[in-house]
């Protein structure tokens, strides 16, 4: 289910190494939300289960602190680890080689958002027809060092070609992969609900300023289908963080 008031314009995915270690990730998450990130995904493919649970819990607390301090909401998403998402009551995102959408939905229940990665028309169609997916991360738009096993880059035109059908099916569509502020003008008219970044925030010396700049550029360059709003969906109801 898409949380009420979801703001997908800027979606930040953590990278523990780029953030400077697990103890610094929650700080970067707080700063990203303060700068305008409406969705944060906790991702660490190398952490063991206990370490990842602790990381996700710390990030949840950071998001809550940011919400309390700033009076705005942000959705916290767990990458792949459906058990952690279930335990902490968080949203979940799965890749094509991770847990299935059905498994993810059973774990988090009907009240949480389930996202999935897609890089082909067939994968977008499968997400739309699943009756489970709420959000689709489309990419990579450009090659990215943070995901070495990614599919071939789609480019701006490829992103737009997949975002349209995804949004028409009621999915929130975000573009991901190699997105930086200086490239956003190339995505003008892409028609996505948001942009998803890793290193552009995680590796920044000032994550809050980086997030603010990315969000402003995405809106200003006409990248978003409707700035700060999600695609309409019959699954959109209820609040969740």
Residue at 1 is within a domain: no
Query: For residue 229, what pLDDT is reported?
Result: 44
Regions of the chain where pLDDT drops below 70: 226-241
The answer to whether 149 is a known ligand-binding residue is: no
198 belongs to an annotated ligand binding site: yes
What pLDDT was estimated at residue 145? Answer: 80
Residue 199 known to bind ligand: yes
55 found inside a domain: yes
β-strand pairing of 135-138 with 114-118? parallel
Residue 44's domain comprises 10-220
pLDDT at position 237 is 37
Does 231 fall in a domain? Answer: no
Beta bridge partners of 94: 116
Task: Please report the pLDDT score of residue 240 as a whole number.
Answer: 39
pLDDT of res. 226:
65
Query: Which pLDDT belongs to residue 231?
Result: 59
| 96 in a labelled binding site | no
Domain membership flag for residue 232:
no
Residue pair 214/203 in contact by the 8 Å Cβ criterion: no
Spatial neighbors of 145 by CB under 8 A, at least 6 apart, are 199
207 is in an annotated binding site: no
- Is 45 known as a binding-site position? yes
CATH of the domain at 99: 3.20.20.70
Q: Identify whether 174 is part of a domain.
A: yes
Q: Is residue 215 part of a domain?
A: yes
Q: Is 36 annotated as a binding residue?
A: no
68 annotated to a ligand binding site: no
Predicted pLDDT of residue 234: 39
DSSP the chain: -BPTT---SEEEE--HHHHTSTTTHHHHHHHHHHHT-SEEEE--SSS-HHHHHHHHHHHHHHHHHHHHHHS---EEEEES-HHHHHHHT-EEEE-TTSS-HHHHHHHH-TTS-EEEEE-SHHHHHHHHHHS---EEEE--SS--TT-TT-----HHHHHHHHHHHHHHTT-EEEEESS--GGGGGGGTT--BSEEEESHHHHT-SSHHHHHHHHHHHHHHTT-BSSTT-PPP-TTB-S---
Is residue 144 part of an annotated ligand binding site? yes
Residue 146 marked in a binding site: yes
Domain tally, the chain: 1
Does 14 carry a binding-site annotation?
A: no
């Amino acid at each position: 289910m898409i949380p009420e008031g979801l703001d997908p314009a800027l979606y930040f995915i953590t990278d523990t190494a780029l953030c400077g270690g697990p103890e610094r990730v929650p700080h970067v998450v707080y700063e990203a939300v303060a700068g305008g990130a409406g969705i944060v995904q906790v991702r660490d493919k190398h952490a063991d289960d206990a370490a990842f649970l602790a990381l996700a819990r710390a990030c949840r607390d950071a998001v809550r602190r940011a919400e309390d301090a700033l009076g705005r909401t942000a959705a916290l998403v767990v990458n792949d680890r459906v058990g952690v998402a279930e335990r902490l009551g968080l949203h979940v995102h799965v890749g094509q080689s991770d847990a299935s959408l059905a498994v993810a939905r059973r774990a988090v229940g009907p009240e949480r958002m389930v996202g999935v990665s897609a890089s082909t028309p067939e994968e977008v169609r499968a997400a739309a027809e699943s009756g489970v997916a709420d959000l689709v991360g489309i990419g990579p738009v450009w090659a990215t060092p943070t995901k070495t096993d990614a599919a071939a880059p789609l480019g701006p035109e490829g992103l737009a070609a997949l975002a349209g059908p995804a949004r028409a099916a009621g999915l929130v569509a975000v573009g991901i992969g190699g997105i930086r502020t200086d490239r956003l003008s190339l995505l003008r008219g892409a028609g996505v609900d948001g942009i998803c970044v890793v290193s552009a925030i995680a590796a920044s010396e000032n994550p809050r300023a980086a997030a603010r700049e990315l969000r402003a550029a995405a809106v200003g360059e006409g990248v978003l289908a409707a700035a700060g709003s999600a695609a309409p969906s019959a699954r959109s109801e209820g609040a969740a963080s």
